[in-house]
């Protein structure tokens, strides 16, 4: 797969300029107030548009993103831990107050867990 970068900003007005972000580094995307937030391990970036658009474009480019909740799309390659009791996906092996996480809709839970386990056999399920 050729190197692909997303041109994203850190603020809604674009005053921060563009940053080139690798789709592999994105943990998950969420939709809020007509914009898409790209959540990375220690940063967040934004782009105007729809979650549906970025979800389709990233998958058409060879990445494995999956819609896990109404307003959340996850980079399936970056999930390392699932908390079954809380219905949460984590991107760190040990949960801390600084861990990034997102919820899985109950209707999607089994399907999502099965897909993640196929990608990451060392997945931790609490």
- Using CA atoms, how far apart are residues 117 and 66, in angstroms rounded to an integer? 14
Select from 24, 29, 42 the least CA-distant residue to 92: 42
- How does pLDDT run across 47-87, given as a tens digit for each residue? 999 999 999 999 999 999 999 999 999 999 999 999 988 89
Mean of pLDDT values over 2-8: 89
Position of tokens 């300029």?
17
Burial class (CB in 10 A: 0-12, 13-18, 19+), 73: buried
pLDDT-derived band at 1, boundaries 50, 70, 90 = low
- Using CA atoms, how far apart are residues 67 and 112, in angstroms rounded to an integer? 9
- Using CA atoms, how far apart are residues 99 and 34, in angstroms rounded to an integer? 26
Tokens found for residue 4: 């692909």
pLDDT-derived band at 3, boundaries 50, 70, 90 = confident
Put simply, whether the predicted model's pTM sits higher than 0.85 gets the answer: yes
Cα–Cα distances (Å) from 92 to 89, 99, 110, in that order, read 9, 6, 21
Q: Which residues make Cβ contacts (< 8 Å) with residue 40, sequence separation at least 6?
A: 21, 25, 26, 27
What does the DSSP 8-state code read for residue 94? S
Tokens found for residue 116: 């993640």
- Residue 23 pLDDT: 97
């Amino acid at each position: 797969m050729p190197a692909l970068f997303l041109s994203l900003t850190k603020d809604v007005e674009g005053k921060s300029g563009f940053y080139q972000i690798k789709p592999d580094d994105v943990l998950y995307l969420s939709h809020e107030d007509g914009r898409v937030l790209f959540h990375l391990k220690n940063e967040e970036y934004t782009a105007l548009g729809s979650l549906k658009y970025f979800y389709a474009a990233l998958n058409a480019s060879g990445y494995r993103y999956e819609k896990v909740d109404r307003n959340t799309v996850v980079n399936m390659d970056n999930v390392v831990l699932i908390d079954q009791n809380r219905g949460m996906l984590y991107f760190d092996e040990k949960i801390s107050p600084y861990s990034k996480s997102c919820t899985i809709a109950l209707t999607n839970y089994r399907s999502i867990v099965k897909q993640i386990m196929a990608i990451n056999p060392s997945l931790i399920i609490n």
